[in-house]
Amino acid sequence: MPTIDRRTFLKLMGLSAAAGSTGLLTACNNSYAANIADDFYDLPMKGNVRILHTTDFHGQLQPVYFREPNVNLGVGDAFGRPPHLVGNKLLEAMNLKSNTPESYAYTYLDFENAAAKYGKMGGFPQMKTLLDRLRKQAGGQQNTLTLDGGDLWQGSGTSLWTRGVDMVEGSNILGIDVMVGHWEFTYREDEVLSNVALFKGDFIGQNVRVKEDSLMDDGYMKLVETFDGSGLYDEDSGHAFQPYVIKEINGAKICIIGQAFPRTGNANPPEFFPDWSFGLREDDMIELVEMIREEEKPDAIVLLSHNGMDVDIKMAERVPGLNAVFGGHTHDGVPEPIKVENIDGNECWVTNAGSNGKFLGVMDFDIQDGKIKSMHYNMMPIIADVLPADKEMQAFIDQMRSTKYDENIIESRSKKLFYNKSRVGKSYAEILDEKLAIADRLLYRRGNFMGTWDQILCNALREEYDADIAMSAGVRWGTTTLKGDWITMEDVMTQCALTYGETYVSEMTGHDLLRILEQVADNLFDPDPYLQSGGDMVRVGGMDYTIDPSKPLYERITNARLDNGHLIEAKQTYKIAGWAQVNRTPDGRLMWDVVRDHIVKNRGKDNVLKIAKINHPKLVGVSDNPGIADYPGEVG
Amino acid sequence: MNKNRRALLKSTFVAGATGVAISAGLLTPKAVLAAWPKAAFEAKDASAALQASLGSSSTTTSGDIKLKAPDIAENGAVVPVTVTSKITDTESISIIVAENGTPLAATFNLGANTKGFVSTRIKMGKTSDVTAVVKAGGKLYSTTKNVKVTIGGCGG
């Protein structure tokens, strides 16, 4: 870490003076702060109700690097509409300048240099410090409401080994008042209900329903009784959790409706939630808002959503009565809210607060006589080294990470892989700090197509199984490793940590393989957002292909070829490796062990892991799309 | 928790939901209905199925039928479908899945003065139009909704 120069020192003094008697920023001692204006984190309250919004932390308690995408294509109505703008196009649309903390936070531009200049982002201790500061500037925590949009409990080694408990405890210290879920449901139902019980806020969701069969089932009733009725909020409607909550904030009555990820049942293994059903449930949402307007008469109704931004925009148009949407899922850091006119002619503000703890969304309402007089929105990028760590949060994290991995750990669906003997007796920190190799380039995942981190994952699978082709899910979590930095086990876990990480190899015909790719592409590029499933295109290693996102199902993908140039033949059989199966539990080793061993085995004498080739698909029909820039593959 | 209500629902389910049980494949239809409309349920296309079960394949689109089904099926093997008919003297409600090998998924014959409301689960092999057909006053009325059946995995 660089030493502090005089200019930095003066800046820091300025910052601590600005923090005044709170002493919030006095612990700051890093030179990155020199690049941030003194008043960067000052946000006086504009109105009487402040809503603070975080989303998609994905288990990241500590600061991380996270490179935003250079490919985030919008199709149909979403063409060129935020969040489907990347790089300079996004900066222009949002009136932001390049070479600023904002361009570092919101774009991939000049990422290596910007990362060196501003350092890591996010972190619970830093987020806690900023939350407290903004609560204070709102006149106290009682004038604020802190919402989290879900995907909080999954995405790191420690969240997997504690089954989400580390994140629940952390979010209690943060002071999250209300949350919704998606990956939260990828623990067993009893673990989810236990975590909900531990969570001090409200876990809500209008679209999480107990299946009809389960309502008749003694087993589910026993489970619910174990948790004092949690998991069965309303037996008549089948709501597993409260669909909404009402909060009195500074004299105003605010209703928060919850929307879990509608496609949870398609996107994740149903075996984790045999008794629950999800879905968009727009009709129910319309009826619910009507009922709340009539019976509860709130001053504002906001939707805390895990729909994803395109779905949120469509829902805000079609569901009358919503004043604002606090969205997540699609990991879009969108600095300005999108104003949507709904079918009744009223306006609704749709926001999305990015991922991995990089951002805090702040919406101030001025509510007078039951009416919203004004709304002001700000997104705050969390530049970790400028915000001193909250001591309580840091102590919690340090203590949690010193926990020893033992035989009670469950990190797989498969009993024989519940825990790994080689990790037993070591602390979480000891396991995660293991240095595996040095990165030969910037390693990242986020983007519609293949990322450099994904290539390592695919290479690892192909090596493990001597497979022709490897497939890896296009999830949007997974952090970034800088070129020249050590790849640690922690990095591997942020790419791989889920509760169904078993790997497999199987024989598949070219026909079946291409049909799978087509269906995944359709889930991403269906012009109707209600028919999309979220996530990015499945990553394919060992094979190149051409894709035209504007084409219909079964016509998007052409010219699929193995790395040796041979065309994929419909009737020929290929050996295909993969992981994270949703409909069965394969018996192969867990993904993070496969990836770790691959990295260690393939590093050079200089410890550098060299990647020979990146399977960037060739993209067709996207050259005028502002959702792509600086694409490293071919664009036709 | 209201245990009485649950008990009541349980007994109702057993005694009253025979129609649901048939379409969900829980009971062998022949054991329940004297005249099993074999031709209708084995017809390979939608119009033949309608012709065989309702005597006509010509339907009029109606806004008085509400068909509730998910935009994307969570599980193609059990897709929940609810049909509400406000058409006077609704005699029967049928559900057609155009892309299924045998498109007729269910037919509910309603007694006089029965509310035009059925709820069931149907099996879908792939993305398809789902059509609710209501027979009333000797005529057929319908409404259609597309339900996507898609590959799993790959959440954000």
* Domain presence at residue B152: no
A263 and B CB contact within 8 Å: yes
List residues bridging with A203 in a β-sheet.
Answer: A179
Of B2, B150, B156, the CB nearest to A476: B156
Domain that includes residue B15, residue range: 1-36
Residues of B in contact with A530 (CB under 8 A): 71-72
CA distances from A165 to A56, A181, A197 (A): 16, 14, 11
User: Which of B72, B150, B154 to probe by mutation at the A interface, max A CB count within 10 Å?
Assistant: B154
Radius of gyration of chain A (CA): 24
Q: How confident is the model at residue B112 (pLDDT cuts 50, 70, 90)?
A: confident
Task: Give yes or no: residues B66 and B99 share one domain.
Answer: yes
Residue B60 lies in a domain: yes
Q: Inter-chain contact B150–A215, Cβ cutoff 8 Å? A: no
Q: Name the pLDDT band for B20 (thresholds 50, 70, 90).
A: very low
Q: Do A266 and B10 touch (CB under 8 A)?
A: no
Is the Cβ pair A530, B152 closer than 8 Å? Answer: no
Contact between chains at B70 and A229 (C-beta distance less than 8 A) = no
Residue A239 near residue A209 (C-beta atoms within 8 A): yes
Q: Inter-chain contact B152–A582, Cβ cutoff 8 Å?
A: yes
* Pair of tokens at residue A382: 């969390």
Residue in B with minimal Cα distance to A473: B154
> Is-contact A143 A45, C-beta < 8 A?
yes
For A515, the closest chain B residue by CA position comes to B151
CB contact under 8 A, A280 and B151: no
Identify whether B74 is part of a domain.
Answer: yes
CB contact under 8 A, A229 and B1: yes
Select from B5, B75, B150 the Cβ nearest to the Cβ of A519.
Answer: B150
Structure tokens at B33: 């209905």
- Return the higher-pLDDT residue of B153 and A172: A172
Mean pLDDT per 10-residue segment, chain A (636 residues): 45 43 44 79 96 98 98 96 98 96 97 96 98 98 98 98 98 98 98 98 98 93 96 96 98 98 94 97 97 98 98 98 97 97 97 98 96 97 96 98 98 97 98 98 98 98 98 96 98 98 97 95 94 90 97 97 98 97 94 98 98 98 96 95
B79 and B123 belong to one structural domain: yes
Q: Do A522 and B9 touch (CB under 8 A)?
A: no
Between the alpha carbon of residue A541 and those of residues A113, A519, A578, A621, B46, the distances in Å are 29, 18, 10, 23, 43
CB-neighbour burial class of residue A26 (10 A; exposed 0-12, middle 13-18, buried 19+): middle
Alpha carbon distance, N-terminus to C-terminus of chain A: 44
Query: Is A267 in contact with B155 (Cβ distance < 8 A)?
Result: yes
Report the pLDDT value the prediction gives residue A224, as an integer from 0 to 100. 97
- Whether B102 and B121 map to the same domain: the answer is yes
**In whole angstroms, what is the distance from residue A347 CA to residue B103 CA?**
43
Closest CB to B155: pick one of A475, A526, A581: A475
The per-residue pLDDT for range B52-92, each reduced to its tens digit, is: 888 888 999 999 999 999 999 999 999 999 999 999 999 99
Task: Verify that B32 and B68 share a domain, yes or no.
Answer: no
User: B71 vs A280: CB contact, 8 Å cut-off?
Assistant: yes
Chain B interface includes A286 (CB < 8 A): no
Contacts with B, A 538-567, CB within 8 Å: 538
Asked whether residue B54 falls in the same domain as residue B77, the answer is yes
Q: Would you kindly state where each structural domain of chain A is located, as residue ranges?
A: 1-39, 48-64+120-394, 434-619
Same domain, B55 and B116: yes
| Contact residues on chain A for B156, CB-CB shorter than 8 A | 151, 182, 261, 267, 308, 329-331, 475-477, 534-536
Please check whether residue A201 is in contact with residue A179, taking contact to mean a CB–CB distance below 8 angstroms.
Answer: yes
* Distance from the A234 Cα atom to the nearest Cα atom in chain B, whole angstroms: 9
> Is the domain covering A48-64+120-394 a CATH 3.60.15.10 domain?
no
Give, to the nearest 10 degrees, the angle between helix A165-174 and helix A391-401. Answer: 170
Asked, for residue B117, whether it belongs to a domain, the answer is yes
Give this prediction's pTM.
0.91
Question: A165-174 and A189-198 helices cross at what angle (nearest 10)?
Answer: 20
B88 found inside a domain? yes
A600 interfaces chain B, CB cutoff of 8 Å? no
Q: What is the DSSP letter of A482?
A: -
The CA radius of gyration of chain B, in Å to the nearest whole number, is 16
Q: Does one domain contain both B95 and B141? A: yes
Task: Report the distance separating Cα A159 and Cα A164, nearest Å.
Answer: 5
**Rounded alpha-carbon distances, angstroms, from residue A386 to A30, A31, A106, A152, A194:** 7, 9, 18, 23, 36
Please judge whether B74 and A277 are an interchain contact, meaning their C-beta atoms are less than 8 angstroms apart.
Answer: yes
Cβ–Cβ gap B1/A224 under 8 Å: yes
Per-residue pLDDT at B10: 53
Angle between helices A391-401 and A124-137 (to 10 degrees): 160
Q: Which amino acid is at A30?
A: N
- Give yes or no: residues B30 and B41 share one domain: no
Please indicate whether, in this complex, the C-beta atoms of A266 and B150 are within 8 angstroms of each other: yes
Strand partners of residue A375: A365
The class (CATH top level) of A434-619 is alpha beta
Beta-sheet strands, E only, within A501-611: 502-509, 539-541, 543-547, 557-562, 573-579, 588-590, 608-609
CB A476 within 8 A of CB A155: no
In a domain, B156, yes or no: no
Per-residue model confidence (pLDDT) at position A27: 43
Chain A residue with the nearest C-alpha to that of B67: A283
ipTM exceeds 0.95, yes or no: no
- Are A534 and B156 a contacting pair at CB < 8 A? yes
Q: Are B25 and B31 in contact (CB under 8 A)?
A: no
Q: Test A266 with B74 for CB contact under 8 angstroms.
A: yes
**Among candidates B148, B151, B155 on the partner chain, residue whose Cβ is nearest the Cβ of A534:** B155
List CB contacts (< 8 A) between B82 and chain A. Answer: none
Nearest to A92 by CA among A629, A490, A634: A629
pLDDT of residue B113: 85
Let me know if residue B134 belongs to a domain.
Answer: yes
Whether the per-residue pLDDT at B155 is higher than 60: the answer is: no
Characterize A487-516 residue by residue with b for buried, 16 or more Cβ atoms within 10 angstroms of its Cβ, and e for exposed: bbbbbbbbbbbbbbbbbbbeebebeebbbb
Q: Are residues B15 and B84 in the same domain?
A: no
Whether B10 sits inside 8 A of A216 (CB atoms) is: yes
Q: Do B74 and B8 share a structural domain?
A: no
Cα→Cα distances B123→A216, A381, A470, A503, B130, Å: 22, 47, 32, 30, 11
Strand stretches in B48-138, DSSP E: 60-61, 65-68, 79-85, 90-97, 104-109, 117-122, 128-136
Q: How far is B138 from chain A (nearest CA, A)?
A: 31
| B154 found inside a domain | no
Tell whether the model's pLDDT for residue B9 goes beyond 80.
Answer: no
Enter the DSSP assignment of A404.
B
- By DSSP bridging, strand A49-54 and strand A144-148 are parallel
Partners of residue A236 on adjacent β-strands: none
Q: Which of A489, A491, A495, A459 is nearest to A476 (CA)?
A: A495
Q: Do B74 and A261 touch (CB under 8 A)?
A: no
All residues of chain B having their beta carbon less than 8 Å from the beta carbon of residue A581 are: 153
Q: Do B155 and A330 touch (CB under 8 A)?
A: no
Q: What are the residues of chain B with a beta carbon less than 8 Å away from any beta carbon of chain A? A: 1-2, 5-6, 9-10, 13, 68, 70-72, 74-75, 148, 150-156
State the Cα–Cα distance between residues A67 and A115, nearest whole angstrom.
9
Q: How many domains does chain B have?
A: 2
CA distance B76 to chain A (A): 10
CATH label of the domain that carries residue B96: 2.60.40.2470
Q: Are residues B130 and B93 in the same domain?
A: yes
Query: Which uninterrupted H or E stretch holds A364?
Result: strand A359-368
- Which residues in chain A (224-253) have CB-CB distances under 8 A to chain B? 224-225, 229, 232, 235-236
Considering the domain architecture, whether residues B26 and B93 belong to the same structural domain is answered as no
The vertex-A498 CA angle with A466 and A311, nearest 5°, equals 110
Is there a contact between A475 and B156 if contact means CB atoms under 8 Å apart?
A: yes
Residue A145's closest CA among A362, A369, A374? Answer: A362
